[in-house]
Structure 1
Amino acid sequence: MALLDDVKSELAAIDNELPAAKKAQAATMIRFGGGLHLVQRHIVVEAQFDSFASAQWLQNAIKEIYGHSSDLIEVSRQAPAGDAVRYSVRVLRAGGALALQTGLLDRRKRPVRGLPSDIISGNIAQIKAAWRGAFLAHGELSDPGKASYLEIVCPGSEAALALVGAARRLGINAKARQVRSSERVTLRDPDAIERMLNLIGAPKSAREWTGKRNDGESRGKANRLANFDDANMRRSAKAAVEASEKVVEAFRLLGDSIPDNLRAAGQLRLDHRDASLEELGRLADPPVTKDAIAGRIRRLLQLAAKVEKQRAQ
């Protein structure tokens, strides 16, 4: 959650965009943050955010770009994890005028169900701004070390499809999906997530997210290797104990008829029951490879098995 707050703070601090891009961001923030409401035949514009910086950016944009005053209200609501605080930006008296100015009402004064056409057909700066606005309004980002995702909760299927099309114009493959009756647009590929964060204006957060994700993957790989090594050690120890028991039985069956090199290999196994084959090879006189010591022990056991079979017959 801390990283998500950092991303939104970084995005809300951007103040060097051209007017068209600022308008695209403001309109998208309103659309994805709440939208238009009809109160006593008057249109009210309201958008809620989990980030104060996001709400403050929209309030300033409404005043600077469109010339309307708005109210910024802190709203507290109950949630399973405790009280959740959200920040609501409301435009009451000039709501209808703002809705027309942002393109959220079409020329026939009907609400736009996706995103305004001026944004969809706009330049790349407007497309980036629209994605930035959607993320500020309802964006989510996975914690490093967990399954990677960047997700936008959308107000409807039309808005989700508009966002997918905007991502395609940026060269990024995003997917729309429905989760518990809510429409979402999701990025899963870590490289695509990093690129999107850079494109919408959060390069610092992108580096931090990628760095922490790589650290988490490295730790996970190290743990898997450690577990693998531990399992190998247990298997080797078990095999050594079983081999020692078989060597004891081979000595009993063969008695004095064991070739000297096979007897020496078997005795090494008995004298160093916890040692690996490689270690036994180094202890041999003269030293031999682990394949050589393994071969001698194997021939000793095969010889014992042959004698036991002959006796049985």
Structure 2
Amino acid sequence: MSFADDVKNEVARKSYSRDCCRLAELASLIKLNGSLKIINRNLALKLKCQNAAVARRIYKLLKDQFNFFTEIVVRKKMYLDKGNYYIIKVPPQKGVKELLLNCGLIYEGYSLNYRVKEEFKKKRCCRKAYLRGLFLGGASVNHPDHSYHFELLVNNYDYAQDLKELFSYFDVDIKYIKKEGGYLLYLKRADDITRVLNIIGAHSSLLKFENTRVYKEVRNRVNRLVNCETANLNKTVTAAQKQLEDIELIDTYKGIEKLAPSLREISILRKENPYASIKELGELLDPPLSKSGVSNRLRRIKKIAKEIRGS
């Protein structure tokens, strides 16, 4: 089961709040997953979803709020994904038109409304409920162990603008791009995603997200430090190898004993400590010498070796 399914299962089991919030949540669920059909001049409603907990929640919202005669049909997917999907059917009956009007999905003349009903934007509780329905109806979120990504696809520009406004009430700056089939709203920042999880009431999933996020960031930081230390070590070993080659060359052609005392001292110390850093070599000298002092002596040795190679 994906992380998105875990979040939906948690949210779908949360208790209902006020009647206005139930209506707001139902409005967003129908907007994303619903389709209308006219049968003998009467409206019928059908919703499809892939999560059993979400299907049960839609069914219960319809029963509790409007006491509709409602049926759920389970179908098996036919392609690569062999799971189930669920169809919630509301046959033509009294109250269907009122439901759609109250949800702001149609106008009185039966034309479709592609905007979010203004009443749902006014109350904070209804804004939360509408976003909760959006997530249950069609949003997805990656597991935090991978990339941070939240997305939702809608098919109307005005609706995408309304949703952007709705998210902005909670200081979430959701982006969108035009895609084939509609407009993709998305979040890439972990802070925004955790804020959305908190808004829709997915508190257990939020804790799991944050725990994984902290572990991931610590792991990445450790990896960066290890990579940095490895790079520095490789650099130190490479430099030391070149210094040893210079010292061996001088010893072969001139003899280390003929070097100035300070250069002879550092040459012997380098041969005895082939993997020591510049700082460590300085600490081994008596008296100790700074890194710049050691580097200066090694540069003088390098210069002598270069003269020998050029002669």
Q: Shared fold (TM-score greater than 0.5)?
A: yes
In structure 2, the partner of 1:301 is: 302
Gap change, CA 1:179 and 1:61, over 3 Å in 2: same
Task: Please report how far the alpha carbon of residue 23 of structure 1 lies from its aligned counterpart in structure 2 after TM superposition.
Answer: 0.5
Task: Please report how far the alpha carbon of residue 62 of structure 1 lies from its aligned counterpart in structure 2 after TM superposition.
Answer: 0.6
Contact 2:45/2:89 (8 A) holds in 1: yes
Gap change, CA 1:249 and 1:205, over 3 Å in 2: same
Task: Please report how far the alpha carbon of residue 282 of structure 1 lies from its aligned counterpart in structure 2 after TM superposition.
Answer: 3.6
1:263 aligns with 2:264: yes
Q: Which amino acid aligns with 2:114?
A: R
Contact 1:32/1:155 (8 A) holds in 2: no
Cα deviation code 1:250-282 (max 9, x no counterpart)? 334544531112111112222332332233334
Gap change, CA 1:273 and 1:39, over 3 Å in 2: farther
DSSP-derived class of the 1:90 partner: strand
Cα deviation code 1:28-47 (max 9, x no counterpart)? 11111133234565432122
In structure 2, the partner of 1:90 is: 89
Residue ranges of structure 2 left out of the alignment (5+ in a row): none
Gap change, CA 1:224 and 1:78, over 3 Å in 2: farther
Contact 1:250/1:304 (8 A) holds in 2: yes
1:114 aligns with 2:142: no
Task: Please report how far the alpha carbon of residue 304 of structure 1 lies from its aligned counterpart in structure 2 after TM superposition.
Answer: 4.5
Residue ranges of structure 1 left out of the alignment (5+ in a row): none
Paired with 2:227 and 2:221, the residues of 1 have a C-alpha distance of 10
Paired with 1:183 and 1:50, the residues of 2 have a C-alpha distance of 21
In structure 2, the partner of 1:156 is: 156
In structure 1, the partner of 2:277 is: 276
Contact 2:155/2:181 (8 A) holds in 1: no
1:6 aligns with 2:6: yes
Contact 1:161/1:176 (8 A) holds in 2: no
Paired with 2:86 and 2:67, the residues of 1 have a C-alpha distance of 21
In structure 1, the partner of 2:173 is: 173
Task: Please report how far the alpha carbon of residue 14 of structure 1 lies from its aligned counterpart in structure 2 after TM superposition.
Answer: 2.4
Gap change, CA 1:186 and 1:289, over 3 Å in 2: same
DSSP-derived class of the 1:192 partner: helix
Gap change, CA 1:171 and 1:297, over 3 Å in 2: closer
In structure 2, the partner of 1:76 is: 76
In structure 1, the partner of 2:242 is: 242
DSSP-derived class of the 2:107 partner: coil
Paired with 1:156 and 1:86, the residues of 2 have a C-alpha distance of 25
In structure 1, the partner of 2:196 is: 196
Contact 1:253/1:304 (8 A) holds in 2: no
TM-score (norm 2): 0.89
In structure 1, the partner of 2:52 is: 52
DSSP-derived class of the 1:83 partner: coil
Task: Please report how far the alpha carbon of residue 136 of structure 1 lies from its aligned counterpart in structure 2 after TM superposition.
Answer: 0.4
TM-score (norm 1): 0.88
Contact 2:16/2:22 (8 A) holds in 1: no
Contact 1:66/1:101 (8 A) holds in 2: no
Over aligned residue pairs, what C-alpha RMSD do you find? 2.4
Mean Cα deviation higher: 16-25 or 164-173? 164-173
* Percent of aligned pairs with the same amino acid: 24
Task: Please report how far the alpha carbon of residue 57 of structure 1 lies from its aligned counterpart in structure 2 after TM superposition.
Answer: 1.0
Cα deviation code 1:27-85 (max 9, x no counterpart)? 111111133234565432122222211111111111111121211222222344x3232
Paired with 2:298 and 2:176, the residues of 1 have a C-alpha distance of 63
Cα deviation code 1:286-313 (max 9, x no counterpart)? 443444333222222334545776xx5x
Task: Please report how far the alpha carbon of residue 147 of structure 1 lies from its aligned counterpart in structure 2 after TM superposition.
Answer: 2.4
Paired with 1:165 and 1:215, the residues of 2 have a C-alpha distance of 33
Task: Please report how far the alpha carbon of residue 131 of structure 1 lies from its aligned counterpart in structure 2 after TM superposition.
Answer: 0.6
